[in-house]
Structure 1
Amino acid sequence: MEVLKVSSHSTPNSVAGAIAGVIREQKAVEVQAVGAGASNQAIKAIAIARGYLAPIGIDLICIPAFANITIDGEERTAIKLICEQR
Structure 2
Amino acid sequence: MEVLKVASNSNPNKVAGALAGMIREHGRAELQAIGAGAVNQAVKAIAIARGYLAPSGIDLVSIPAFTDVQIDNETRTAIKFIVFPRS
TM-score (norm 1): 0.98
Matched, 1:5 2:9: no
Match of 1:54 in 2: 54
Distance 2:2 2:30 in 1: 6
Match of 2:68 in 1: 68
Matched, 1:78 2:78: yes
Provide Cα deviations, 1:12-45, integer angstroms capped at 9, x if missing partner: 0000000000000101010000000000000000
Q: Helix, strand or coil: the match of 1:8?
A: coil
Aligned residues: 86
Q: Helix, strand or coil: the match of 1:25?
A: helix
Aligned CA RMSD, in angstroms, stands at: 0.6
Unaligned runs of 5+ in 1: none
Unaligned runs of 5+ in 2: none
Distance 1:71 1:12 in 2: 23
Q: Helix, strand or coil: the match of 1:51?
A: helix
1:2 Cα deviation from its structure 2 partner: 2.5
1-10 or 18-27, which moves further after superposition?
1-10
**Letter in structure 1 aligned against 2:3:** V
